[in-house]
Structure formats: C-alpha cells, structure tokens
Structure 1
Amino acid sequence: MADAEPAPPAPPPELYSSAAGEAALRQLYVSTLIDLSFPEERLVPTSFGTGSVVVCGPSDAPPLVVWHGTAAPAPDMLLEVPQLVERFRVYAPDIPCQAGSRSDPALLDPATHAYGRWAAEVVLGLGLLRGTRPPVHVGVSLGALVLLDLAVVKPEAICGAALLSPGMGLEPVTGQKRRMPWQLALGFALYRWLPCAPAAWLALAPMCDEPRRAPPVLDNVKLAIRHCSYFPDAPGPFTDEQLRCLAGVPVLVEAPEHDVFGSAQAAVERARAVWPDCEAVLVRGAKHMPGGRGMRETNERMIKALERTTMATKRAANRRRSLLSYLALAWGIGGFLLSVFSLLVCALNVHRPAGAAGLALLLGSVLLPLHPTPPRWAARFLARSVAELRAYFPINVIYEDEAAFASNKPGSPTPGPFVVGYEPHSVLPLGMCVFSPHARDTPPSLSRSVIAATSTLFLAPGMRHMCYWLGCRSASRQVLQQSLAEGSTVVLCPGGVAECFEMDPRQGHEVAFLRSRTGFVRLAMQAGAPIVPAFAFGQTAHYSWWRPFIDWPKQLVPRGAMGSFVRRIGYVPMLAWGILGSALPRQVPMTIAVGRPIPVPHTANPSKAEVQATLDAYIAALQGIFERHKAAAGHAHDTLTVL
C-alpha cells in the first residue's frame, strides 16, 4: 500500500495556450458525448476537486471502469469500443489536466501516488465498492498507468484489469527521468508551427497505425497538440512489489509491437514474470494506437477477457452465498410473520402447558427494555444482513453531493443532522437499509441515522429488539425530535400508510403522497435540519400485491370509507408476494438517488407559509432527481405522480 497521504497539490498552471483552443476542445467533447446512448455525467467530490464521470450502459449490467489515454477523454474511449457500452455498466472518469477533461484541474504528482489516490476517491464516490464485488477496470495508455497506480493505493477496488498499450508503465525501473520520444517531440513542434494535414500526419504517424483515421479520437489529439501548454507527467515507474498488488486478479496485457512509448517485448516479459497467470499478448505489427485488424483483434480479446472475469467473479460470489447468507437476508421479511404466527399458535393453545409457556415467553420478551447498543453477535449479524440485502438486488446509491454529508478535512465537524425524505414507500421500503448504522461506505452523517418505522413493529416479540438494534425507531414526533436533538439523522418515508393506499399497480407508475404531508417538514424546521430528498428506483417491482376492497372487489366498500379505516388502524391490509409467491422479494436492481440537502430555517414555530414553501421545494427536488436519474437507473419510461 502507499505511504501516508500528503496534502492536496497546489492549483496547476493553465493547461490551454488559448481560450479559442480550450473552446474547440470543449465543443468536440460535447459533440462526442451526444453520440453516446443515454450518457449521464456524474460529479464526484474528491480532495483534489470534483471529478467528472461519464456513465452509460444498462444499469443491471456488471460495472466496468474505463481509464482513458492522454488527450483522449472519456467519450472518445467509449465510442472507440461500443461493445463495452452494450455489455457493461460503464463508468469513464475524466483524468484531471487532460485535454478536454471536465474534471477540476489538478496537477497530480506521480511520486506521491496522487493519480492512484484520486482514482480511489472517484471509485469510492461512485459507490462501486458498496456491494460484494468490486468492478473490473480497463486502462488505455495513460489510463493503464492510472490503473496500476490505483492498484498500489487500493487493490481491493479491482477484481480484474485490462491494460492496453501500457507503454512505459511495465518497463523496468531505471531511475532516469522520462522524456517524450524524439519522433513525437519533433512532429508535435512542427504541427504547432504549421498546422496543416502533412504536419499532422508527421506528428501522428510514429504512434498511430492510421494517422488519417476519422474523428473523434485523433481530432482531439491534434487539438491537444496545438492548444495544450504541457502534458502532465504520467504515473510510475512501478517496482515489482508494487505491480504485485494486482496479483490474484485476472490481468490482460495487450502491448503493440511498435509502441513508440516503450518496449512491448519488455512489457510482455515483465507482465508474465510479475503476474504468472496473466494473459500477456504482443500485438504484432501494431503501433501505440492500433488500427484496422489490430484494433479489432485487441478489442475482441479485451471483451472476452472482461466477460470471463465478470462471470468468474459472479460464480465465486454465488458459491460464497451460504445458507447463513439467505437467513441473514430473509429474517427481516419473514421474522415479523413468524413472530405473529407464533403468537397466534400459542394463544390458540394456551390451555396446554406448552402453549401457555410459549405465550408467556413471547409476551415477556415484549416487556424487556430496549438498549440502543446491540450485543456483539447481533451487530455482526445485522451488518451481514444489510450487506446481503444490498448485494441481493443489488442496490446502487448515487449521491449528487456526497461532500455535503462528510467533511473532507480531518478534525472538522461532521455536518448534520438531516431529515431524509425517502420515496416511495412501496410494499416494503427495503432500500432504507443503506442508511442503517450497520451499512458500509455510507457518509458519516447519514450512517449515524435512525429509521422511522410504524409502532406496530415494536409489538412483535423478538423482532422489536432486532429492529431497534438495526436503527429503527417509532415514527412518533417525540421520538424523532429527540433523535434529531441527539445529533442523529432521521430517515423517514413522508408518504407512509397513505402512500400504500394510493399505490398504482401498473408497472412503471410511481406514486408519492406528499401534498398534504407537512409533519416531516415542520419536524425538520424545528430542529434546523436540512431535508434530503431520496428516491429508490426499482423498489416497487420487488412485490406484487392485492389490497382487499381497494384493488378488488372495489364496489363493496366505498374508497373514502376504506381510507378512513386504513388511517384508523395505521396500516393497509394487503396480501403481498415476491419470488414464487413467497415473502422473498424479486431480484430487481435498485438505484437510490440521494439529492442535495435543502436548507431550512431554524424556527420553533414555523408559519404555514414557511412550511408550505419548504414542502414545495422538497417536492420539486424529488421530481428533479427522479427525472435526472431514471434513464441511468434503467427506468427511462417511468412516471412519478405526486398526490
């Protein structure tokens, strides 16, 4: 692992030599981005500034991180290999201080592994380490060196790697300062002085099989040659010990035979020596940027290697899923039903000694006091349960502003508390588990949370203690006010029981019952706690349901009378089922989008106008994150109705 992290670097010198050149590179970036299918730009806060990440591909596909080459930002890489976008959920970060990059400029110091630390913060900020399997990675040219630096800093973030045209990244450490090859230095200088087609050919020919190839990659490179003041130093060199950080994961190395940046033969030999099980290929006759047949063969090998890696990782994860894992997943869903069933059986057999003893034991457990700190065995079990639940669907969390929930400076206070307005309720709001104190990789101020739950839950023998230890609390105003006063974030579903009553059985039609829900807004304003909108895509599809006299038969009981009955008893009577008619939810991937905190005035007695204005701001923010993220979450055609 790398040494202790130094302070973030000072602002870098101006990258572009002219405003016109910068504008041309930005425009080319945008035009290339338009050609990608359903692209999403995600902004990830890091200690080096905000990182820009292009995200595309099916939301339920295996995650893949693509690290681009010099002067070839994220959209260029994805257009070069369209098969990646078809088969993987692709995350392509823009490396700072590269031509056209949208990430905040930061001059990363290779000597301090700044590239690897920046990459690790980006991967963590994307939420790709919250499941049971880390993503696979592809690094091209400079990106291959960034990937190697990431392996030094955080090897657990990588479950497979493809290094394409790694150049000097796999050459032995010599201690000499790297210099640009003279052929490129001469060609670049000539093209800057005389920007014409013949000069462009001379600049690109040493590293490209097809210097006259169509845009956008080479167009971006040519603009970078003309308008960039410098090219930052790349990561490396790497010792054998550092390279062995990738040992144990599948590695593919594809080194072009005529790579101007380093000896391909030496790279292949060193890869085989350091990673005996790796697949190292010398691409015959190809230059640093292969073309034609060489490019097709390179891409085909890469796709096959990535698919083998993801399939092998998935099989290994399935083998690790034991009976204990399924019990950890099912206890929260089946435990309540088992508790109620046991209580009924004992009550019906109270005339027998066993029934009377069982009933006394169950009722006695309800009288046991609740302590917020769980026993060690319970804490381990609950942490396992939350991890299994997140991996089961799986659940991916998107933070639009993760920095708002965590301090980037050591010793500074953690922000919060917050009131998280989580929607929709659905049959069971299972996605709320990501805010449990037992969830991993949750920002500090959100992991220190209590989850508002119906008071009925705490009447169930046995389950009441487990739910309390999980972080659930009664959804009463007094309890939630006390939690906020103690500094805990409150996570609640504003729609509550009324939202279950209004659920739309049609697929893709989400309903949020919010227009009259002012209680949570008043709670937040009295505590001065910002309100955080959160929406869970895919949650409603986990169960099918039937609500008597609401879904069928509708005519026997008037809807208004049924609504009054539901409000009186505090829940909606329904029959719900998941896989094969059981209580186990369907494995529909979930994406939880967490919006930016909405500031609220701190006032003990907020006026109706203030409460309504804040509620309107929350509804608008919730609708905004729904529209911004629904396509990337795989629900592009879903609608949200706010009642």
Structure 2
Amino acid sequence: MSRPVLAPRSPSGSIRGRLSSLATLKPVKNSLDAFHFAPSTVPFQRRKETMAVAGWAILIWGSQTLFITLCCFPALWPAIAVYLFWIHFLDKAPWRGARPSPWFRSCAWWQDYAKYYPASLKKEADLPADRPYVFGYHPHGIIGMGAFATFATEATGWSKEFPGITPHLLTLDSNFKLPIYRDIALNLGVASVSKRSCTNILKKGAGQSVTIVVGGAAESLSARPGTADLTVKKRLGFIKLAITNGADLVPVFSFGENDIFDQMPNEKGTAVYYFQKRFQAIFGFTLPLFHGRAMLNYNLGLMPYRRPMIAVVGRPIPVTKSANPTVEEIQKIQDLYLTELKRIWDTYKDDFAKKRVKEMEFIE
C-alpha cells in the first residue's frame, strides 16, 4: 500500500494550517505500480489463448523435466533405454520429412495459440502442387513464433490456402536430440535444416516444400519492434538448394514478427553484443536478451506480447533445375528474390507496419 508523504507544517501551527497541509498529501509510488496486472475479468477464451502460448513457450523445458521425472522410476528404465537407442541410432524421420500428423497440426490448442496474437496468413498467388517449393521466411524475430503458427500448424489455414502442398518448417539438428520434444516437433512436420534433410524432402517431388527462416541466429540480434533488418545478402545456400532441386522460390514476410518482444540494447562494442557473439560462436545459436509480458501482467515476462502477425506469402520465383549452378546464376535468382521481398514490404507496410520506426533493410 502506498504511504503518504506529509507536506511541510504550516508556519502558523494552527488547526486550519494543519488541515491545509493534509490536503496536499501525495502518495509515494509503490514498486508494484510499475506492473500492469491482468484484470480478473479477462474472458475465458483469452485465458485459453494465453495458456496455449505459455505452454509452447515452456515446451522444451517442460518436456525435459517430464523425461527426467520418468527416469526416476527404475521400472521404466528398460523402456527408456530402448527409446534413447531409437532416438540416436534408428529414427531417421528428422532427415526424411518428419512424420506430420494432420490431426495434431489441426488441434484446438494451436488454434488458440494463433488467436492469441492473432497470427494470420495472406496469400498473394496460387501455388500449383505439381512442383516442390522452398519458402524463405523473414524476419527471424526472437524465436520465430509466426513461422511456427503458419508452417507447423493449420491454425492460419495453410492446407485451405495451398491445397496439395506439404509444409516442413526446418530447425536445428540439436532439437531432435531432446526426448519427447522431438516427437512433438516431428508430428507437426518440423524437420532438420541440414542439407541432407532438405534434399531428401524436395526430391520427393510435387507438392513437397521446406521453409527456411533465412536470417537465423544472427538476425535475431536485430529483432526490435518497428524494424525489419534482414540478414540475407550473404545467405545464398537456400537459393542454391532451390536451383539444384528445381524448386520454385517463394519469399514470405511476416509483418509483426519483430514486434512481439522487446530486446536489450546490443549495439556493436557493448558487453551484451560481445557476450551474444561469443555464445553464438560456441553453441551455433545466439541468446537474445529479451522480455515481453507474463501470464498475470502485461509488461514484464518472457511471453510474447499480443500483437498481430500477418505472414504474406509472395509470388513464386520460377527456378530452372541445375546440378551445378554458377555463382552468376545464384546471384541472378537472389536479385529476383530480394526484389520480390521488397515489393511485399512496400505493398503492405502502410497497412501492417504502421508503427515502424524505419524501412526494411538488407544487411550482411
């Protein structure tokens, strides 16, 4: 409770003077005033949406805690040993297109996840299901929550908008070493981002697709509300992948992906920047120092803010298959790709990025 601060005593010392002083009482700001707490009258549907996002945010830690708890029961050790052997030596699903479950991708939990922001999809052109595709997703954001909603679930209506095209959101190999979590990802159609995995998926032919979050760990360090700094200039691997597999390239720009978290200042030369770069060099990914909201307050926590995300799926760029494309061929396709990406930004920025503080920029 706030405590009052008394104004100076009236020189006269009279009762009237003291009453006048009490009229000028000012409360000292309580430390809790800095938090904007969620009211108790929040509708049940919104609480469900918040729980869905919170569940996804702690899924890695929760699944590993569950696995460690199961390991505490000796009766389960034989089954756990078989499971671990299967993970590390037998199961090749992460490199062969995962094992997507249409039912799991469409369950109500993911619908609530997408409604939280809300996340939505905007299609610019039909994509014939008679060829493979490589989708380049921008920006990476802090975690890529919009990429997950669009490509790993049916919450934004992927199959309805692009019938016959099977999406595979790609992630690091290390995620498939995590018990339980890996199986959840595989049932959502999430696969490894390795070259072997991409080739295995695309060579299946018509209707197969991979989604690569092009900026990767480096771009997450530039993810701030109102900005769109894309780490893409030197990223030619996904373009070469498309050419060698004869897959059309499709740029996807997610308006709002950078707006759902705030990040600590990490300009070059700062201690935060040095720490993040060293962490990336050692572990292969970075650790953005960010914050959002929490379940019970709106301004401090590790959950994303409720801010709209609209993934605009652009027009396909036709690619002619070539087993050994030259640097000139790759750069020519890259120029077309960047031009299309800029066209998407210029077309929709006044509708979906009204609070931008700068224009989109291609960096590194």
Aligned equivalent of 1:337: 61
Aligned equivalent of 2:362: 642
2:210 aligned with 1:496: no
Q: What whole-Å deviation, never above 9, does each CA across 1:552-572 have from its counterpart, x for those lacking one?
A: 98248858xx63651442110
Q: Distance in 1 between matches of 2:154 and 2:271?
A: 46
Aligned equivalent of 2:137: 422
Aligned equivalent of 1:65: none
Say which SS state the counterpart of residue 601 (structure 1) adopts: coil
Distance change (3 Å), C-alpha of 1:381 and 1:356: farther
Aligned equivalent of 1:444: 163
Aligned equivalent of 1:600: 319
Distance change (3 Å), C-alpha of 1:582 and 1:504: closer
Q: Which structure ranks higher in relative contact order (CA pairs < 8 Å, sequence separation ≥ 6)?
A: 2
Higher Rg: 1
Q: Distance in 2 between matches of 1:627 and 1:620?
A: 11
2:186 aligned with 1:471: no
Q: What whole-Å deviation, never above 9, does each CA across 1:369-399 have from its counterpart, x for those lacking one?
A: 47644679xx347532332222111123222
- TM-fit CA distance, 1:326: 5.0
Contact 2:105 2:153 in 1 (8 A): no
- Count matched residues: 302
Q: Distance in 2 between matches of 1:471 and 1:486?
A: 15
User: Which residue of 515, 518, 526 maps to 2:233?
Assistant: 515
Contact 2:152 2:168 in 1 (8 A): yes
2:150 aligned with 1:431: no
Contact 2:64 2:180 in 1 (8 A): no
Say which SS state the counterpart of residue 386 (structure 1) adopts: helix
Q: What whole-Å deviation, never above 9, does each CA across 1:162-211 have from its counterpart, x for those lacking one?
A: xxxxxxxxxxxxxxxxxxxxxxxxxxxxxxxxxxxxxxxxxxxxxxxxxx
- TM-fit CA distance, 1:601: 1.9
Aligned equivalent of 2:32: none
Contact 1:543 1:577 in 2 (8 A): yes
- Which amino acid in 2 is paired with 1:417? P
What percent identity do the matched residue pairs reach? 23
Map 1:197-236 → 2, pairs under 5 A: none
Q: Distance in 1 between matches of 2:100 and 2:122?
A: 29
Q: Distance in 2 between matches of 1:327 and 1:362?
A: 29
- TM-fit CA distance, 1:545: 3.3
User: Which residue of 383, 389, 392 maps to 2:116?
Assistant: 392
- Which amino acid in 2 is paired with 1:418? Y
Q: Distance in 1 between matches of 2:259 and 2:272?
A: 28
Q: Distance in 2 between matches of 1:583 and 1:330?
A: 9
Contact 1:531 1:597 in 2 (8 A): yes
Aligned equivalent of 2:243: 525
Q: Distance in 2 between matches of 1:606 and 1:493?
A: 22
Aligned equivalent of 1:130: none
Distance change (3 Å), C-alpha of 1:322 and 1:363: farther
Q: Distance in 1 between matches of 2:217 and 2:271?
A: 22
- The gaps in structure 1 that reach 5 residues or longer are 1-316, 407-413
- TM-fit CA distance, 1:627: 1.3
2:331 aligned with 1:617: no
- TM-fit CA distance, 1:540: 1.1
- TM-fit CA distance, 1:603: 0.3
Contact 1:370 1:468 in 2 (8 A): no
Aligned equivalent of 2:308: 589
Aligned equivalent of 1:460: 178
Distance change (3 Å), C-alpha of 1:633 and 1:601: same
- The gaps in structure 2 that reach 5 residues or longer are 1-41, 295-299
Contact 1:578 1:585 in 2 (8 A): yes
Map 1:232-631 → 2, pairs under 5 A: 318-320=43-45, 323=48, 326-340=50-64, 354=72, 365-366=83-84, 367-368=86-87, 369=91, 372-373=98-99, 379-380=103-104, 383-401=107-125, 403=126, 405-406=127-128, 414-432=129-147, 433-436=149-152, 438-439=154-155, 440=157, 441-446=160-165, 448-487=166-205, 488-501=208-221, 503-505=222-224, 507-546=225-264, 550=266, 554-555=270-271, 558=274, 563=277, 565-580=279-294, 581-631=300-350
- TM-fit CA distance, 1:354: 2.9
User: Which residue of 349, 352, 356 maps to 1:633?
Assistant: 352
TM norm structure 1: 0.42
Q: What whole-Å deviation, never above 9, does each CA across 1:248-277 have from its counterpart, x for those lacking one?
A: xxxxxxxxxxxxxxxxxxxxxxxxxxxxxx
Distance change (3 Å), C-alpha of 1:426 and 1:518: same
TM norm structure 2: 0.72
Contact 1:438 1:470 in 2 (8 A): no
RMSD: 3.3
Q: Distance in 1 between matches of 2:211 and 2:312?
A: 14
Q: What whole-Å deviation, never above 9, does each CA across 1:323-360 have from its counterpart, x for those lacking one?
A: 5x6554433321112234567x77xxx9xx83878898
Distance change (3 Å), C-alpha of 1:526 and 1:374: closer
- TM-fit CA distance, 1:584: 2.6
Say which SS state the counterpart of residue 449 (structure 1) adopts: coil
- TM-fit CA distance, 1:435: 2.4
Q: What whole-Å deviation, never above 9, does each CA across 1:104-140 have from its counterpart, x for those lacking one?
A: xxxxxxxxxxxxxxxxxxxxxxxxxxxxxxxxxxxxx
Q: Distance in 2 between matches of 1:566 and 1:541?
A: 23
Say which SS state the counterpart of residue 161 (structure 2) adopts: coil
